[in-house]
Structure 1
Amino acid sequence: MTAHEDWSEQQTRADVTVDGHDLAVAYYEDGPGAEAGNEAETGGDEPPIVFLHGIPTWSFLWRDIAPAIAQDRRTIAPDLLGYGNSSMRDGFDRSIRAQESMLEELLVELDVETASLVAHDIGGGVALRFAAHEPDRVDKLVLSNAVCYDSWPVEFVANLGLPDSAETDDEFESHLDSAFVDGAYGEADPEFVEGMKAPWRSDEGQRSLVRNAVATNTNHTTEIEYGAIEAETLLLWGEDDVMQPIDYAERLTDDLENAAVEPLSEAYHWVPEDRSAAYVDRLRDFLLEPNV
């Protein structure tokens, strides 16, 4: 069994309703109290930690991160709608506005009142919206190379939403290789590359990825009231990223009430993969220490 197949085997599914559509969300869950599905049984008052991925990834992005944090805290890592092993059929919105609704529904389903959020790419846009709309429900916030303001969509994602009808499967896969192989800092781990590409190899998956790309909407981050976010925020950013430059992290520090930038060197956009050990260490320091 491959690493991504093993990850899929560990996932659970929850039913949510978003914009009147009944949809399935696949999620990884581990850590104290995870099987009970009850926040009160996580070993105290500490909130669970929810990991949110971006495009064109899925929760496998957190393969080296979430299990390490689960040694100390309940962790939940969903596949966004239209991604990974969550619903991929046509007929529903996959924008970050809809993903925010999914997150709220999932937290209700899992009896989670308050959580810390760790988010990457468009998952960061979801987390920012949720933290602005529900400030009392977010304990701490970690954003990594996250979409915000008018920083997106980038050309690669926009092009995914404009498929060439004559494009072959090999050409489509080469687009993904350009993201996951060429986008790695140094030599890409084949396990990571294969895992990231796996959900998109079927006809349904390829079509879903196109729908996901089309659903990117800059208005959903330009309209955020950033000053409404109260959570202590760590901007754990791959400093060499050209898709979501660190300048945006520095802008966030001006608009968020309590935020600090921590650059991670030798990391491009896939910072949880490029610097996984350092990423885990910094998450532990930030998330597992008590609020002051």
Structure 2
Amino acid sequence: MTTVATDNPEVANSVDVNGIITNYHDVGTGRPVLLIHGSGPGVSAWANWRAVLPALSQAHRVIAPDVLGFGFTERPEGVTYDLATWTEHLIGFLDALALDEVAIVGNSFGGALALNLVTHHRDRVSKLVLMGAVGVPFEITEGLDTVWGFEPSLENMVDLMDVFTHDRSLLTEDLARSRLEAATRPGAHEAYSAMFPAPRQRSVEAMTVPDAHIRGIEQPTLIIHGRDDEVIPLSNSMRLNELIDQSQLHVFGQCGHWVQIEHTADFTRLVGDFLA
């Protein structure tokens, strides 16, 4: 493990994962919790989880990596971005940190990675939290098609931020500018464009975990969704609640796709109590 001295809060620690230098945050002590971020343009572990890291790390060791192809993790030439590759990278990351078992919190795209990881490596996961998760079949929403089809411009980023939230007062032009800057770092948009090419319904299907595998999940599972989510339909979480026997579903009213940002205190309290 290497700790990098930098003024950029998105850059923290780095570790070699099968030859890929992986950026990650590692705060707190206690039972380990792995946070897997979503797939918005310019996203990183820090951008996704910065609001909840302080509270969750009071009782747990909270570890949040930049998934392969995102943030400040290396993007090797010729890599194929798919569910198997992302899952392999995450398992390699756990191995590199000598983490035999973790609780997982997966957001959106990260929910599909969490589902694939737990169904293929059951002994590595103690508990599961899925928030606005991909991973079951659904007809792609206009919101998700906009997210995955993002083309860099400030106007497009402002429009995209509007899709993510129910409370528009959270949105500022400064936030849009910072996310645009992150989305256009060298190599970032090229990698992003390769992940979810049109027609993007195929990407939804490629991120789907078979029902039979999901039914086999025995870990206690907390499912969270914003009622007014325009990116991932609430029906996804209702379906996951049906499939996973040991699951509970919590729906936040007046909330879009960013539960952890729009309802930070309630989200961290709910997840913290579940993980305790």
Question: Which TM-score applies when normalising by structure 1?
Answer: 0.81
Q: Which of 113, 128, 139 is residue 100 of structure 2 equivalent to?
A: 113
Following superposition, the deviation at residue 83 of structure 1 comes to 0.6
Task: Map 1:213-252 to 2 at 5 A.
Answer: 213-214=196-197, 216=203, 218-223=205-210, 225-252=213-240
CA distance in 1, matches of 2:171, 2:78: 35
Structure 2 alignment gaps of length 5 or more: 1-5
Following superposition, the deviation at residue 189 of structure 1 comes to 4.2
Q: What corresponds to 1:7 in structure 2?
A: 9
Following superposition, the deviation at residue 15 of structure 1 comes to 1.6
What's the RMSD between the two structures over aligned residues?
Answer: 2.4
CA distance in 1, matches of 2:65, 2:178: 15
Does 234-243 or 107-116 show the bigger shift?
A: 234-243
CA distance in 1, matches of 2:195, 2:139: 14
Following superposition, the deviation at residue 284 of structure 1 comes to 1.3
Q: What corresponds to 2:246 in structure 1?
A: 258
Report % sequence identity.
Answer: 23
Structure 1 alignment gaps of length 5 or more: 33-41
Following superposition, the deviation at residue 274 of structure 1 comes to 1.2
Task: Map 1:41-120 to 2 at 5 A.
Answer: 42=30, 47-56=31-40, 57-59=43-45, 60-120=47-107
Q: Deviations over 1:163-207 (max 9, x none)?
A: 8xxx7x53xx33222222443222124465455433212342221
Q: Secondary structure at the match of 1:150?
A: coil
CA distance in 2, matches of 1:67, 1:6: 17
1:182 and 1:149, CA in 2 relative to 1: closer, same or farther beyond 3 A?
closer
Does 219-228 or 117-126 show the bigger shift?
A: 219-228
CA distance in 2, matches of 1:103, 1:280: 23
Query: Aligned residue pairs: how many?
Result: 261
CA distance in 2, matches of 1:161, 1:279: 25
Q: Which of 184, 188, 194 is residue 165 of structure 2 equivalent to?
A: 184
Q: What corresponds to 1:36 in structure 2?
A: none
Does 256-265 or 205-214 show the bigger shift?
A: 205-214
Q: What corresponds to 1:35 in structure 2?
A: none
Task: Map 1:33-48 to 2 at 5 A.
Answer: 42=30, 47-48=31-32
1:157 and 1:253, CA in 2 relative to 1: closer, same or farther beyond 3 A?
closer
CA distance in 1, matches of 2:58, 2:251: 25
1:82 and 1:154, CA in 2 relative to 1: closer, same or farther beyond 3 A?
farther
Q: Which of 203, 206, 212 is residue 189 of structure 2 equivalent to?
A: 206
Q: Secondary structure at the match of 1:26?
A: strand
CA distance in 2, matches of 1:199, 1:157: 19
AA aligned to 2:82 is S
Does 231-240 or 90-99 show the bigger shift?
A: 90-99
Q: Which of 106, 111, 128 is residue 141 of structure 1 equivalent to?
A: 128
Following superposition, the deviation at residue 156 of structure 1 comes to 4.9
Q: Secondary structure at the match of 1:129?
A: helix
Answer whether contact 1:29 1:74 (CA < 8 A) is retained: yes
1:253 and 1:95, CA in 2 relative to 1: closer, same or farther beyond 3 A?
same
Answer whether contact 1:153 1:216 (CA < 8 A) is retained: no
AA aligned to 1:245 is P
Q: Which of 146, 156, 159 is residue 175 of structure 1 equivalent to?
A: 156
Question: Which TM-score applies when normalising by structure 2?
Answer: 0.85
